[in-house]
A = this chain, B = another copy of it.
Amino acid sequence: MNHQAALTSYIAAFVAELVKNGVENAVVSPGSRSTPMAMVMAEHPDLNIHIHVDERSAAFFALGLAKASKQPVVLLCTSGTAAANYFPAIVEAFYSRVPLIVLTADRPHELRDVGAPQAIDQIRLYGHHVKWFVEMAPPESSEEMIRYARTVCARAAAAAKRAPSGPVHLNFPFREPLIPLLDQEDLFLSHEREERYVKVQTGEYTLSQDEFAEIAETISKTENGIIICGPLEEEMFAGEVVKLAQKLKFPILADPLSQLRSGNHDGAYIIDTYDTILKNKKALQELKPEVVIRFGAMPVSKPLSIFLKEHAHARQFVIDGGAGWRDQGLVSTDMIYCHETLFCSALLPLLMENKNDTYFSLWRSLNEITRECLQEINQTETLSEGKLFSQLSKMLPEGSLLFVGNSMPIRDLDTFFHFNQKSFKIMANRGANGIDGVVSTALGAASISQPAYLIVGDLTFFHDLNGLIASKLYDINLTVLLINNNGGGIFSFLPQSEHQKNFERLFGTPLDIQFEHSIRMFGGHYDLIEDWNHLSSSLARSLENKGLNVLEITTKRDENVQEHRDLTNAVSREISRFLEGEYR
A interface vs B, CB < 8 Å?
28, 30, 32, 35, 38-39, 42, 49, 51, 53-56, 80-82, 84-85, 87-88, 90-92, 94-95, 110-111, 113-121, 124-125, 127-129, 177-179, 182, 297-298, 300, 324-328, 330, 432-434, 436-437, 459, 462-463, 465-466, 469, 472-473, 488, 490-491, 494-496, 499, 501-502, 505-507, 509, 511-518, 520-522
Contact partner of A496 (CB less than 8 A), chosen from B39, B436, B505, B521, is B39
Residue in B113, B121, B327, B434 whose CB lies within 8 Å of A118: B434
The 3 A-B pairs at the shortest CB distance, nearest first, are namely A81-B434, A115-B326, A517-B521
Whether B42 lies near A502 (C-beta < 8 A) is yes
- Decide: A499 and B127 in contact? CB cutoff 8 A: no
B465 touches A465 (CB 8 A): yes
State how many angstroms separate the Cβ of A327 from the closest Cβ of chain B.
Answer: 5
Please give, as numbers and ranges, the residues of chain B lying within 8 Å of A110 by CB-CB distance. Answer: 330
Chain B residues within 8 Å of A113, by CB: 325
Known: A502-B42, A521-B515. A495 touches B179 (CB 8 A): yes
Q: Which residue of B lies closest to A123 (CB)?
A: B128
Closest to A35 in B: B496
**Neighbour of A116 across the interface among B51, B116, B298, B459, CB < 8 A:** B298
* Distance of A137 from chain B, by nearest CB (Å): 21
Q: A32-B494, A434-B81, A436-B85 are in contact. Are A53 and B517 (CB under 8 A)?
A: no
Residues A433 and B325 in contact, CB atoms below 8 Å apart = no
Given A118-B433, A298-B116, are A513 and B502 also a contact pair (CB < 8 Å)? Answer: no
When chains A and B are docked, how far (Å) is the Cα of A511 from the Cα of B501? Answer: 43
- Complex alpha-carbon distance, A94 and B121, angstroms: 11
- Not counting A80-B433, A111-B328, a sample of 5 additional A-B residue pairs whose C-beta atoms are within 8 angstroms of each other reads A115-B298, A116-B298, A182-B499, A182-B501, A516-B521
CB pair B84 A117 closer than 8 Å: no
Contacts of A436 in B (CB 8 A): 54-55, 81-82, 85
- The residues of B that contact A32 with a CB separation of less than 8 Å are 490-491, 494
Q: Is the CB of B38 within 8 A of A506?
A: yes
24 residue pairs from A and B, CB less than 8 Å apart: A38-B506, A39-B499, A39-B502, A42-B501, A51-B509, A53-B462, A54-B463, A80-B91, A82-B434, A84-B87, A110-B330, A113-B325, A114-B327, A114-B328, A116-B328, A118-B434, A120-B129, A462-B466, A465-B466, A466-B466, A513-B521, A513-B522, A517-B517, A517-B518
Known A-B contacts A84-B91, A328-B111; the reply to A117 vs B298 at CB < 8 A is yes
Given contacts A465-B466, A494-B32, A325 and B114 within 8 Å (CB-CB): yes
List, in ascending order, chain B residues with CB within 8 A of A434's CB: 80-82, 118
Which chain B positions have C-beta within 8 A of A128?
Answer: 121
Q: Which residue of B lies closest to A498 (CB)?
A: B179
Check B117 against A433 for contact (C-beta < 8 Å): yes
Q: Give every chain B residue within 8 A of A85 (Cβ-Cβ).
A: 56, 87-88, 436
Selected contact of A432 from candidates B87, B120, B179, B459, CB within 8 Å:
B120
Query: CB-nearest residue of chain B relative to A90?
Result: B84
Asked whether A53 and B463 contact (CB < 8 A) given A42-B502, A434-B82, the answer is yes
A38 cross-chain contacts in B, Cβ below 8 A: 506
- Do A469 and B517 have beta carbons less than 8 Å apart? no
CB contact between A495 and one of B178, B437, B459, B466 (< 8 Å): that residue: B178
Q: How far is the CA of A343 from the CA of B116 in the complex (A)?
A: 24
Contact check, B463 vs A51: say whether CB atoms are below 8 A apart: no
* A466 contact set on B, CB distance < 8 A: 462-463, 465-466
Nearest Cβ distance between residue A358 and chain B, in whole angstroms?
31
A39 neighbours in B (Cβ, 8 Å): 496, 499, 502, 506
How close is A525's CB to chain B, nearest CB, in angstroms? 14
Bound: A124/B32 CA distance, A: 30
Residues of B within 8 A of A116 (CB): 298, 328
A274 to nearest B CB, angstroms?
A: 17
Expressed in whole angstroms, the minimum distance between the Cβ of A519 and any Cβ of chain B is 8
Question: When the two chains form their complex, are residues A127 and B129 in contact, meaning their CB atoms are under 8 A apart?
Answer: no
Cβ B324 vs Cβ A115 within 8 A? yes
| Contact A42:B178 (CB < 8 A) given known A115-B324, A473-B511 | no
How far does the Cβ of A275 sit from chain B's closest Cβ, in whole Å? 14
Residue of B nearest to A495 (CB): B179
| Contacting residues, chain B, for A92 (C-beta < 8 A) | 81
Q: How far is the CA of A436 from the CA of B522 in the complex (A)?
A: 20
Known: A32-B491, A179-B496. A51 touches B506 (CB 8 A): yes
Q: With A and B bound together, what is the CA distance between A318 and B492 in angstroms?
A: 56
Q: Once the chains bind, are A53 and B459 in contact (CB under 8 Å)?
A: yes
Shortest beta-carbon distance, A173 to chain B, in Å?
A: 15
Which residues of the partner chain B approach A473 to less than 8 Å between Cβ atoms? 511
Chain B residue numbers with a CB within 8 Å of A437 are: 81
Name the distance in Å between A196's Cβ and chain B's nearest Cβ: 25
Assembled-state Cα–Cα distance A81/B87 (Å): 8
- Cβ-defined contact, B115 with A121, below 8 A: no
Query: Which listed residue, B53, B84, B509, B515, touches A509 by the CB 8 Å rule?
Result: B53
Which residue of chain B has its CB nearest to the CB of A55? B436
Q: Across the interface, which residues of B come within 8 angstroms of A49, CB to CB?
A: 505-506
Which of A53, A115, A433, A509: most chain B Cβ within 10 A?
A115
